[in-house]
Amino acid sequence: MRQSLQAVRGMMDILPDEVEKWRFIEERARNLFRRFGYREIRTPLLEATELFARSIGEATDIVEKEMYTFYDAKGRSISLRPEATASIIRAFIQHQLHTTGDRKFFLLGPMFRHERPQKGRYRQFHQIDVEAFGIQDPMLDAELMFMARSFLDEIGVKEVSLEVNTLGCSVCRPGFRTVLQDYLNANVDHLCPDCVRRIPKNPLRCFDCKVPQCKEALAEAPLLINFLCQKCLSHFESVKSYLEQLSVPYVVNPRMVRGLDYYVRTAFEIVTTHLGAQNAVGGGGRYDGLMKDLGGPDLPGIGFALGIERIMLLMSGYQPSRENDVDVYLVLLGDSARRKGFQIAQELRKKGLSVEMDYDPKSVKSQMRSADRVGATVSVIIGDNELEQSIAQVRFMKEGIQRIYELSDMAAELVDIIKGAK
């Protein structure tokens, strides 16, 4: 027997009832971000592999292990985007958006990483991404965290906490890096192979390792927060002060690092205890210098991303409403009535109503059950007798009331009644 086709491992179908939940999340995000002055941008799913290697970092797990990379017909290395920041910066540079005054953007869409699928983690996953360029003030850092928390509050995600840290800058990080490398080399026998490999190129990533023996080995490791230069310390203190002014609760986590090389100074994560090992709902931070590294103007940047699939796991109480999904259900008896109903359906749809009908001949009882199942506001019953009199029987489903309308007037009257009730 031929094996039935299945979705590719780590990629899921989003069925109609779930789509309603997605739309709720996306619409709330769009409404909130616009209030803060952000404009929506959409970038391609495919980018040159070099973009991510240069931005994310060649020594990161994402670039080394997780990207979907292939060569196109001309031998160019192309990758499905594993994150959105680099793509937005590339678009910003390519289209010279710094000359238009635009500097605050958001993006909704799929990303791709070849990871082991588990709860809250898929190989095609979806993010809400927010980026802002050209603003150095720590006030913006705090405002972004406030905006992320406000969004989660608006969609009913409550049991999360905000963790903040600072990752220093090109002045204070090199000295810390040397001290950390010395510590890691002294404890190399207790580290996993991945962490041993990270020591020369990206030692900070060892703090993000989930292997228990590495966590234990790093328990006494030096912390970057104790090596900050004065500017980074002042910036971090200001960020915390603004968060307190906005009454945003937070916890300083000096061991928290982000999985991408481009972060400097402010870094943050929104975490929960309800997702198991994948405890981060989202996160972000500052990446001053990245735009210049990618060939653009020397503008600072900061942003965050939230995982939609993980958000949905925390919205178990949300139930999509099917009420009034369909305004009108046409119950048609006989070929002549079905032909007339077909015409009426298009007229009503052009006037803005949602209309359903059975395309196969069925009994009145069966069609009325269908009207009830889809939550129709009204059912319009037309048979041979109604056609002879140029009338229709209109049943208001919720009220259980049935009225007679002239066919010539029915469309306009239904539009007024149904739109007036919404």
Domains recognised in the chain with CATH numbers: 16-172+228-313 (3.30.930.10), 328-416 (3.40.50.800)
Q: Each residue of 287-346: pLDDT tens digit?
A: 998 999 999 999 999 999 999 999 988 886 666 665 557 899 999 999 899 999 999 999
- pLDDT at residue 64 in the model: 72
- Buried-exposed string 122-145: b where 16+ CB fall within 10 A, e elsewhere: bbbbbbbbbbbbbbeebebbbbbb
Q: What is the pLDDT of residues 150-197, one digit of tens each?
A: 999 989 888 889 999 999 998 998 898 899 999 999 988 888 988 888
Q: Please name the amino acid found at residue 345.
A: A
Measure the CA–CA gap between 256 and 254, rounded to whole angstroms. Answer: 6
**How many residues are given for the chain?**
422
DSSP string, 325-359: S-SEEEEE-SHHHHHHHHHHHHHHHHTT--EEE-S
Q: Which residues, at least 6 apart from 162, have a Cβ–Cβ distance to it below 8 Å?
A: 145, 149, 243, 248, 249, 250, 251, 268, 269, 270
Task: Note the pLDDT of residue 59.
Answer: 60
Ranges in the chain, pLDDT < 70: 1, 58-61, 120, 259-261, 275-278, 316-324, 421-422
**DSSP code for 222:** -
